[in-house]
């Protein structure tokens, strides 16, 4: 109200002065008086203009203070306040602005406290985890790492911020892999080959897993490092023991199997007698023992780093040959075997003998658990850079509790498995030696599904 009244008074004064000057000029009887009247009018007008400028200055000054305070708040300085003004309207605006600034300061303080609390919780969580954690951004730069990871890698966590993994590890293994993983917007965890650091007694083996996190603004991933030095050392000792024991058992088991066959050829046991039943039990047990020793030897060789003899192979032909080998057994069991493969399918660089063994083991397991009238299917497909082979059946399936352990040694799905539980372990070793992975799941046929994923780099076309 005061601002409006002041402006109105100023304009009225300026107008009245101009009118008075004009009236005097017109009423003047001679030029001298007219000139004096004009000068008086000009002087009054100038005085009114000066007064108007002074009033405008008094009005704009509080507005400038409010604008300056607004710029301070926008820059994050929430303590800025506007002093009271003698102009009612400006004073009301100043009070409203101060209330807003106080509300923003309170909100910012609350948000900051919340962020600090979240950060403290995150730090406590990172410190409590036994595994090493490294948070990497989309460019491969390290954003954060916990103390466990710093100790495992033998670095100072603070000096690693902003640097790349390959920079601190002195190689070219991770950076491009991380960038590709983020660029493809991968969602599944990726298990990387073991990271070996140091030599001799200081040698450490770290299992590496990449876990992407879904953040559209700042994509990246978490690298999980687990020290498996003792585990790998134990596995090595166990494999050496198994290899030595298998070699020691192979000769007497082979001699026992030969003796059993010689007795069978001699026909010294009457058919249908109790001795014949016992002899059949001995022969079956000897055959299973011989098969077990062979599996142990093969597994030990794979663990010992036996090289694959990769050569161009037609995977479709390998699958159909495996199906043909089990055709008679399937017919006797009343089970159909089907092979589905899109044409043309690329040739792959594979160890033909080893991969044929994988298919044989998967088919043998599928037929073992598929009832009469069921079906076993082998399917091949190529999805982008991934090559998939699946063997599925309409049998009883694999219990969910055993799917994560079914590839471990001596783990059997059912009590009547009929094997030693090494077949799927061998399959996993052979597939992983080819750079792939094997998974257990549920088939669309109602039973089990064992699927193999191979890298597209094995394809020749």
Can you list the alpha helix ranges (DSSP code H) found in 28-87?
31-74
Q: How far apart are CA 412 and CA 440, in angstroms?
A: 13
Q: What is the pLDDT of residues 168-220, one digit of tens each?
A: 888 777 888 777 777 776 666 677 778 888 877 778 888 888 887 766 566 77
pLDDT, position 9: 56
* Residue range 286-308: mean pLDDT, rounded: 77
Q: Are 42 and 19 in contact (CB under 8 A)?
A: no
* Residue range 123-136: mean pLDDT, rounded: 71
Q: Which DSSP letter does residue 371 get?
A: P
Instruction: Identify the helix (H) or strand (E) that includes residue 367.
Output: helix 352-368
Per-residue DSSP letters for 19-35?
A: HHHHHHHHH-SSHHHHH
Q: What is the mean pLDDT of the chain?
A: 76
pLDDT, position 157: 83
* Phi, psi of 388, deg, nearest 5: -120, 135
Domains in the chain: ranges and CATH = 2-96 (no CATH), 129-227 (3.30.450.20), 232-303 (1.10.287), 311-458 (3.30.565.10)
Q: What is the pLDDT of residues 447-461, one digit of tens each?
A: 888 888 888 888 877
pLDDT, position 284: 83
Instruction: State the chain's maximal CA–CA distance in angstroms.
Output: 166
Q: Are strands 448-455 and 386-393 parallel, antiparallel or unpaired?
A: antiparallel
Q: How far apart are CA 90 and CA 74, in angstroms?
A: 20
Q: Kindly list the distances between the CA atom of residue 8 and the CA atoms of 54, 114, 448, in Å, as whole numbers in the listed order.
A: 14, 52, 91
Q: How far apart are CA 190 and CA 223, in angstroms?
A: 10
Q: How far apart are CA 423 and CA 236, in angstroms?
A: 20
Q: What angle do CA 456, 459, 461 make, to 5 degrees?
A: 120
Q: How far apart are CA 304 and CA 398, in angstroms?
A: 30
HSE-CB for 229 with a 13 A CA cutoff: 12
Which among 303, 288, 375, 371 has a CA at the least distance from the CA of 339?
Answer: 375
pLDDT, position 17: 56
Per-residue DSSP letters for 378-427?
A: EEEEEETTEEEEEEEESSS---GGGTTTTTSTT--SSTT--S-S-HHHHH
What's the pTM value of the predicted model, to 2 decimals? 0.52
pLDDT, position 275: 79
């Amino acid at each position: 109200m005061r601002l409006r009244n002041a402006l109105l008074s100023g304009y009225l004064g300026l107008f009245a002065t101009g009118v008075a000057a004009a009236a005097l000029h017109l009423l003047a009887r001679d030029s001298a008086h007219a000139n004096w009247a004009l000068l008086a009018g000009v002087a009054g007008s100038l005085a009114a203009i000066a007064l108007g400028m002074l009033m405008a200055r008094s009005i704009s000054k509080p507005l400038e203070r409010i604008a300056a305070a607004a710029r301070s708040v926008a820059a994050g300085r929430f303590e800025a306040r506007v002093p009271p003004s003698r102009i009612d309207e400006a004073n009301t605006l100043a009070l409203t602005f101060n209330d807003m600034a106080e509300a923003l300061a309170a909100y910012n303080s609350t948000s900051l406290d919340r962020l600090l609390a979240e950060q403290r919780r995150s730090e406590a969580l990172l410190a409590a985890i036994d595994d090493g954690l490294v948070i990497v951004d989309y460019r491969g730069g390290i954003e954060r790492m916990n103390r466990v990871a710093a100790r495992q890698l033998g670095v100072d966590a603070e000096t690693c911020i902003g640097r790349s993994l390959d920079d601190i590890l002195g190689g070219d293994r991770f950076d491009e892999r991380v960038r590709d993983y983020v660029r493809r917007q991968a969602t599944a965890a990726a298990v990387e080959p073991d990271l070996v650091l140091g030599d001799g007694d200081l040698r450490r083996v770290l299992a590496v897993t990449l876990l992407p996190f879904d953040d559209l603004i700042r994509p990246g991933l978490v690298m999980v490092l687990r020290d498996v030095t003792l585990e790998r050392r134990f596995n090595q000792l166990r494999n050496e023991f198994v290899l030595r024991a298998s070699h020691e058992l192979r000769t007497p088991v082979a001699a026992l199997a030969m003796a059993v066959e010689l007795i069978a050829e001699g026909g010294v046991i009457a058919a249908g007698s109790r001795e014949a039943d016992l002899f059949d039990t001995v022969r079956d047990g000897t055959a299973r023992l011989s098969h077990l020793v062979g599996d142990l030897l093969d597994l030990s060789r794979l663990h010992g780093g036996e090289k694959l003899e990769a050569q161009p192979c037609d995977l479709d032909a390998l699958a159909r040959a495996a199906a043909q080998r089990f055709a008679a057994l399937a017919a006797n069991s009343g089970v159909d075997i089907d092979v589905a493969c899109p044409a043309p399918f690329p040739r792959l660089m594979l160890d033909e003998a080893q991969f044929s063994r994988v298919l044989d083991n998967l088919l043998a397991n599928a037929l073992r658990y598929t009832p009469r009238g069921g079906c076993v299917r082998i399917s091949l497909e190529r999805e982008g850079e991934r090559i998939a082979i699946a063997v599925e059946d309409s049998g009883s399936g694999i219990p969910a509790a055993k799917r994560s352990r079914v590839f471990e040694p001596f783990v059997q799905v059912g009590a009547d498995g009929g094997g030693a539980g090494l077949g799927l372990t061998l399959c996993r070793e052979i597939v992983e030696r080819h750079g792939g992975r094997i998974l257990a799941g549920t088939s669309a046929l109602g039973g089990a599904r064992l699927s193999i994923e191979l890298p597209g780099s094995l394809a020749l076309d």
